[in-house]
């Protein structure tokens, strides 16, 4: 697949592996003008437009590519932003290979158009040239909307509703807007300045962002509705870390991926002591898990200065849930994959620090309900490896702060909020939800897609009030 | 930005900030905490709420100078601002009519126990408070705690004021005495909470402690504040900060509080060097 992807598309310049593990700068450098033009010229502007259908937010892909080809960049920006308020973010972190690019007509014979790279190129061009891209804003409706959470879903719903003339306030628990884009995804994949430019764009549409506002504590959703908000959107994400629940997990030196990434990215611990938040830098680290978050944690660890970085995953390479591109990036940089390996317990010293991890070898059995082959422990295969830091990256579930303080809001056993897939409507009148809080941890773009659908449904509701 | 409306120095190293945060003030309850960040490069640290005023829209916190962040905060004057102030976080202290409640506090936690003692008294309890300090010069808020208690005992380690010794001495005397004690609330340095819990355990008196582990977000996101309570791992920020002191794994908590000792020392030294402080 990877070979095919790069067959005849214009590749994107990247920092060399050895150099990039010494800094937190962006790895992928973006297309030059010539790169972009050459890639845009490969688009055959087919009539089928399957790429548009493959895009969760329905960006008019052939049109924006045509604009790039014609050198009409302000038009390309306009087309892109009419459907997607966050192109600089999506161009970087969308899994295009399973969405728009997967269904590209060119993909049948060669490599599909590099839509993601072109999207990023357009967003970067906008950032550099600052054309006037303020969209038309509908006349004020007098309706007020509270959006809880300023991640990809919250920003999208806020932008869409503001454009339709509603007065939107985003309530964010942390001290900066952006959600997982700020605390989770590292600088070298998603520069924080770019996130803030896109947050500023959403603000420029008239959206108010209130920071330090922990909903469920400072106000409940019921209070927001009583205080005069006509509708509420819950985009609170999946912020609660899962642990292994094995002996020794509370030893010093064992982090949740959320903590490791939050310290590194949101709090800029990689710039400690210039920034006040520290992170423990050791020699040998194990990152447990095989998703994108595990890859992010492992690659952060390399950049922080760990000399041996290991991914420990209980299934085989085939089942790694991370994007292939992220696995390749991690490998190129020197991350070691210990596959078919599962931790059993952690061992520590007298001071309470982790020193090693006992693991067991696994083999793959029959497929389980997820469709992946079930990992089964091999009896008697236990072994111990020394580590001074461990990061547990098993996934996250929704934070219960909002669901448990909201009356009549239906949730599942997994703690996710029940919402209609097409409209985002929850069991509670006037309340919509979308993104990870509904699906459990998924992608930025799927959250944005859900937010767009919710915005349409909320708009219709608000107009009928 | 959140303005410091009023600042008091309770001792040379313990300071009080009254901060303008009307929405937090509206919701604050005894036993809850806030997350404060001094400036744009600052870390997020939790401070327990010492008082609040819904009319003025202010929340009062008390802190002791320990590391860089608390020393940096201590340089701020009334009228200046902190970058962030989020709360109220955590669950409030369980207030009910228990009967006789003993409130034990040590050091800067005196400020934290005052609203709890006040709420316990308002709920109809007899409140006996014990406040412990190293020495006479560090005694503060004696009147404030006396006002909300039926009885007050002061201890100093060196005997320069009140009873000589640590808070567990009068606590034990009380438990051995005639009067039935229905509940103990102990707040202060971890070691003091640990020994208060060990003191009450043989008497089977329910003892609530307010833990102060390291935190980052304070909303259940990172898990650094996890603590073993009985056989279960709890997050102090959302499940606490109050827990049953007889169930807390104190040694684990104390080890976890030391995770960044080296980094904190380095950070403080560099800062002191750069601004020519002591």
Peptide bond into A280 cis (omega under 30): no
CB contact under 8 A, A276 and B222: no
Longest CA span, chain B: 58
Whole-angstrom CA distances from B173 to B90, B170, B183 are 33, 5, 15
Mean predicted lDDT score pLDDT of chain A:
93
Asked whether the beta carbons of B241 and B48 are under 8 A apart, the reply is yes
Instruction: Report whether pLDDT(B275) > 80.
Output: no
pLDDT tens digits, B12-49: 999 999 999 999 999 999 999 999 999 999 999 999 99
Q: Could you say which of B219, B220, B266 has the minimum Cβ distance to residue A273? A: B266
Residue B267 distance to chain A (closest CA, Å): 6
Confidence of residue B266 (pLDDT cuts 50, 70, 90): very high
With beta carbons less than 8 A apart as the criterion, state whether A299 and A188 touch.
Answer: yes
Nearest CA distance, B249 vs chain A (angstrom): 11
pLDDT of residue A54: 92
Distance CA A347, CA A75 (A): 59
What is the distance in angstroms between the Cα of A48 and the nearest Cα belonging to chain B? 44
CB of A212 within 8 Å of any CB in chain B?
A: yes
Name the nearest CA neighbour of A232 among A402, A52, A440. A402
Nearest by CB: A276 against B27, B43, B226: B43
Assess whether the previous peptide bond of A273 is cis (omega < 30° from 0): yes
Residue of B nearest to A173 (CA): B86
Q: What confidence tens digit (pLDDT) does each residue in B157-213 have?
A: 999 999 999 999 999 999 999 999 999 999 999 999 999 999 999 999 999 999 999
For residue B69, list chain A residues with Cβ-Cβ distance below 8 A. Answer: 276
Note the pLDDT tens digit of each residue in A418-451: 999 999 999 999 999 999 999 998 889 899 999 9
A304 closest CA partner among A337, A276, A275, A269 = A269
Name chain B contacts of A240, Cβ cutoff 8 Å: 220-221
Q: Categorize the per-residue pLDDT at A3 as very low, low, confident or very high, splitting at 50, 70 and 90.
A: very low
Residues sharing a CB contact under 8 Å with residue B45, sequence separation 6 or more, in sequence order:
B35, B36, B37, B69, B70, B215
Residue of B31, B37, B221 to mutate for A, most A C-beta atoms under 10 A: B221
* B52 closest CA partner among B72, B35, B32, B36: B32
Please give the helix or strand (H or E) that residue A366 lies within, else none.
strand A354-367
A156 touches chain B (CB under 8 A): no
Contact B51, B6 (CB under 8 A): no
User: Which pLDDT belongs to residue B124?
Assistant: 97
Q: Please, what's the b/e burial string for A322-332 (b: 16 or more CB within 10 A of its CB; e: otherwise)?
A: bbebbbebbeb
Judge whether A43 and A27 are in contact, CB under 8 Å. no
DSSP-based three-state secondary structure for B138: helix
Mean pLDDT of A189-197: 94
Judging contacts by C-beta atoms under 8 Å, the chain A residues touching residue B216 are: 259, 262-263, 267, 277
Residue A1 has pLDDT above 60, yes or no: no
For residue A160, which of A91, A84, A64 has the smallest C-alpha distance?
A: A84
Residues of B in Cβ contact (< 8 Å) with A174: 86, 217
Q: Which residue has the higher pLDDT, B277 or B44?
A: B44
B276 pLDDT tier (thresholds 50, 70, 90): low
Cis peptide, bond prior to residue A110, ω within 30 of zero: no
Residues of chain B contacting A277 with CB distance shorter than 8 Å: 43-44, 216
- Residue A276 has its nearest CB partner, among B41, B88, B251, at B41
Per-residue pLDDT reduced to its tens digit, A384-424: 999 999 999 999 999 999 999 999 999 999 999 999 999 99
> For residues A363 and A189, what is the distance between their CA atoms, to the nearest angstrom?
33
Residues pairing with B4 in the sheet: B19
Q: Are strands B14-20 and B151-156 parallel, antiparallel or unpaired?
A: unpaired
Other CB atoms within a 10 A radius of the CB of residue B251 amount to 11
From start to end of B54-188, where are the E strands?
A: 58-64, 81-82, 84-89, 100-106, 126-133, 151-156, 163-164, 183-187
Q: CB-based contact (8 Å) between A243 and chain B?
A: yes
Contact A249/B44, CB-based, under 8 Å?
no
Closest chain B C-alpha to A137 CA, distance in angstroms: 30
Please give the torsion angle defined by the CA atoms of residues A349, A355, A360 and A364, in that order, rounded to the nearest 10 degrees.
Answer: 140
Cα separation, A331 vs A164, whole angstroms: 46
Assigned token pair, B278: 């002591």
**Nearest residue of B to residue A271 by CA position?**
B41
In chain A, how long is the greatest CA-to-CA distance?
A: 70
B185 vs B196: CA distance, rounded Å? 9
Q: Which residues in chain B are closer than 8 Å to A262, comparing Cβ atoms?
A: 216-217, 221-222
Do the Cβ atoms of B196 and B184 come closer than 8 Å?
A: yes
Query: Whole-prediction pTM value?
Result: 0.94
Bridge partners, B35 (sequence order): B46, B86
Residues near A130 by beta carbon (within 8 Å), at least 6 away in sequence: none
- Rg from Cα positions in chain A: 23
How confident is residue B277, by pLDDT bands cut at 50, 70 and 90? low
Q: For chain B, how far is it from start to end, CA to CA, in angstroms?
A: 28
Residue B2 half-sphere exposure toward CB, CA atoms < 13 A: 30
Query: Residue B236 has what DSSP assignment?
Result: H
Residues in A touching B37 (Cβ below 8 Å): 175
At A156, phi and psi to the nearest 5? -65, -50
3-state SS, residue A384: strand
Q: A215: nearest CA in chain B?
A: B87
The per-residue pLDDT for B107 is 87
- Among the partner residues B219, B223, B258, nearest to A173 by beta-carbon distance: B219
pLDDT band at A130 (very low <50, low <70, confident <90, very high): confident
- Given the structure tokens 């005849």, which residue do they identify? A8
- Residue A222: asked if its preceding bond is cis (omega within 30°), the reply is no
**How far is CA A318 from each of CA A26, A290, A321, A443, rounded to the nearest angstrom?**
27, 11, 9, 20
A385 contacts: CB under 8 Å, gap ≥ 6:
A286, A338, A356, A357, A359
Query: Cα torsion for A154, A157, A160, A161, to the nearest 10°?
Result: -110
All residues at 6 or more sequence positions from A336 whose CB lies less than 8 Å from its CB, including other chains: A308, A309, A310, A311
Using alpha carbons only, what angle is made at residue B55 by residues B52 and B60, rounded to the nearest 5 degrees? 20
Task: Indicate yes or no: CB of A278 within 8 angstroms of CB of B89.
Answer: no
**CA distances from residue B28 to B7, B21, B61 in whole angstroms, order as listed:** 20, 11, 12
Q: Among all residues of chain A, which has the CA nearest to that of B40?
A: A275
Asked whether the beta carbons of A351 and A252 are under 8 A apart, the reply is yes
A-chain residues near B252 (CB < 8 A)? 250, 352
Location of structure tokens 């997020």: B44
| Per-residue pLDDT tens over the stretch A41-96 | 999 999 999 999 999 889 999 999 999 999 999 999 999 999 898 899 999 988 88
Chain B residues closer than 8 Å to A211 by CB:
84
Q: What is the DSSP letter of A97?
A: G
pLDDT tens profile B88-147: 999 999 999 999 999 999 988 999 999 999 999 999 999 999 999 999 999 999 999 999
Please check the confidence at residue A4 and state whether its pLDDT lies above 50: no
Residues of A in contact with B68 (CB under 8 A): 276
Across the interface, whether the CB atoms of B222 and A352 are under 8 A apart is answered: no
Do B255 and A352 make contact, defined as CB atoms within 8 angstroms? yes
Instruction: Kindly state the tokens that stand for B182.
Output: 């229905």
The chain-wide mean pLDDT, for chain B, equals: 95
Contact list in B for residue A178 (CB cut-off 8 A) is none
Q: CA nearest A238 in B: which residue?
A: B221
| Residue A400 in contact with partner chain B when CB distance is under 8 A | yes
> Radius of gyration of chain B from Cα atoms?
18
Structural contact between residues A175 and A275, judged by C-beta atoms closer than 8 angstroms: no
The ipTM (two decimal places) reads: 0.95
Task: Decide: residue B273, CB within 10 A, 0-12 exposed, 13-18 middle, 19+ buried.
Answer: exposed
pLDDT of residue B273: 87
Dihedral of CA atoms A244, A246, A249, A251 in degrees, nearest 10, equals -170
The CA-CA-CA angle for residues A89, A93, A98, to 5°, reads 130
Subunit contact A252:B255, Cβ cutoff 8 A: yes
pLDDT at A2 over 50: no
Q: Is a pLDDT exceeding 90 seen at residue A7?
A: no
With cut-offs at 50, 70 and 90, classify the pLDDT of residue A5.
very low
The C-alpha angle B212, B215, B217, rounded to 5 degrees, equals 140
* Tens-place pLDDT, residues A346-399: 999 999 999 999 999 999 999 888 788 899 999 999 999 999 999 999 999 999
């Amino acid at each position: 697949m990877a070979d095919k992807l790069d067959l005849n598309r214009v590749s994107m310049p990247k920092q060399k592996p050895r150099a990039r593990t010494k800094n937190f700068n962006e790895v992928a450098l973006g297309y030059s003008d010539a790169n972009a033009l050459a890639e845009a010229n490969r688009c055959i502007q087919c009539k089928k437009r399957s790429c548009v259908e493959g895009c969760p937010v329905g960006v008019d892909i052939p049109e924006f590519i045509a604009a790039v080809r014609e050198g009409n960049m302000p038009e390309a920006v306009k087309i892109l932003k009419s459907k997607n308020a966050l192109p600089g973010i999506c161009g970087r972190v969308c899994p295009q290979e399973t969405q728009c690019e997967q269904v590209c007509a060119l993909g049948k014979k060669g490599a599909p158009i590099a839509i993601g790279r072109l999207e990023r190129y357009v967003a970067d061009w906008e950032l550099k040239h600052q054309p006037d891209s303020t969209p038309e804003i509908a006349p004020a409706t007098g309706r007020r909307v509270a959006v809880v959470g300023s991640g990809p879903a919250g920003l999208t719903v806020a932008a869409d509703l503001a454009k339709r003339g509603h007065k939107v306030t985003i309530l964010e628990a942390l001290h900066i807007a952006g959600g997982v884009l700020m605390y989770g995804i590292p600088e070298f994949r998603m520069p924080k300045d770019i996130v803030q430019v896109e947050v500023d764009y959403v603000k420029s549409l008239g959206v108010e962002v209130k920071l330090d506002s922990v909903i469920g504590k400072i106000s409940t959703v019921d209070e927001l509705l009583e205080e005069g908000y006509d509708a509420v959107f819950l985009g609170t994400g999946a912020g609660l870390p899962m642990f292994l629940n094995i002996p020794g997990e509370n030893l010093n030196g064992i982090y949740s991926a959320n903590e490791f990434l939050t310290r590194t990215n949101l709090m800029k611990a990689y710039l400690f002591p210039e920034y006040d938040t520290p992170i423990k830098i050791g020699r040998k680290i194990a990152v447990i898990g095989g998703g994108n978050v595990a890859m992010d944690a492992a690659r952060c660890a390399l950049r922080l200065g760990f000399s041996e970085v290991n991914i420990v995953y209980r299934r085989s390479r085939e089942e790694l849930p991370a994007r292939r591109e992220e696995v390749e990036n991690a490998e190129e940089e020197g991350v070691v994959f210990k596959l078919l390996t599962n931790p059993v317990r952690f061992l520590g010293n007298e001071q309470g620090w982790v020193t090693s991890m006992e693991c067991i070898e696994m083999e793959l059995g029959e497929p389980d309900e997820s469709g992946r082959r079930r990992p089964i422990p091999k009896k008697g295969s236990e072994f111990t490896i020394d580590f001074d830091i461990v990061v547990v990256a098993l996934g996250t579930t929704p934070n219960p702060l909002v669901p448990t303080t909201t009356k009549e809001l239906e949730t599942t056993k997994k703690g996710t909020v029940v919402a209609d897939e097409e409209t985002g409507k929850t069991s509670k009148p006037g309340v919509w939800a979308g993104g990870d809080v509904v699906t459990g941890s998924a992608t930025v773009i799927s959250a944005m897609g859900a937010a767009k659908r919710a915005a349409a449904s909320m708009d219709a509701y608000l107009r009928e009030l | 930005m959140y303005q410091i409306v009023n600042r008091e120095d309770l001792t040379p190293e313990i300071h009080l900030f009254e901060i303008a945060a009307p929405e937090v003030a509206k919701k604050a309850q005894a036993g809850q905490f806030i997350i404060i960040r001094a400036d744009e490069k600052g870390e997020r640290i939790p401070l327990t709420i010492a008082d609040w005023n819904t009319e003025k829209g202010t929340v009062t916190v008390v802190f002791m100078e320990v590391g860089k962040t608390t020393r940096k905060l201590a340089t701020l004057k009334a009228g200046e601002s902190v970058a962030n102030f989020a709360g109220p976080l955590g669950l409030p202290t369980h207030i009910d009519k228990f009967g006789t409640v003993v409130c034990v506090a040590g050091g800067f936690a005196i400020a934290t126990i005052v609203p709890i003692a006040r709420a316990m008294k308002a709920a109809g309890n007899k409140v006996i408070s014990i406040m412990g300090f190293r020495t006479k010069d560090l005694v503060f808020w004696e009147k404030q705690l006396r006002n909300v208690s039926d009885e007050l005992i002061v201890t100093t380690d060196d005997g320069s004021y009140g009873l000589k010794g640590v808070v567990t001495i009068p606590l034990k005397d009380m438990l051995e005495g005639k009067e039935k004690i229905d509940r103990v609330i102990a707040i202060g340095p971890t070691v003091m909470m640990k020994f208060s819990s060990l003191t009450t355990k043989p008497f089977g008196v329910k003892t609530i402690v307010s833990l102060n582990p390291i935190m980052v977000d304070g909303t259940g996101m990172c898990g650094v504040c996890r603590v073993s309570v009985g056989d279960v791992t709890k997050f102090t920020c959302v499940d606490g900060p109050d827990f049953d002191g007889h169930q807390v794994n104190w040694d684990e908590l104390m080890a976890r509080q030391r995770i960044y000792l080296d980094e904190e020392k380095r950070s403080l030294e560099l800062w002191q060097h750069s601004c020519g402080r002591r």
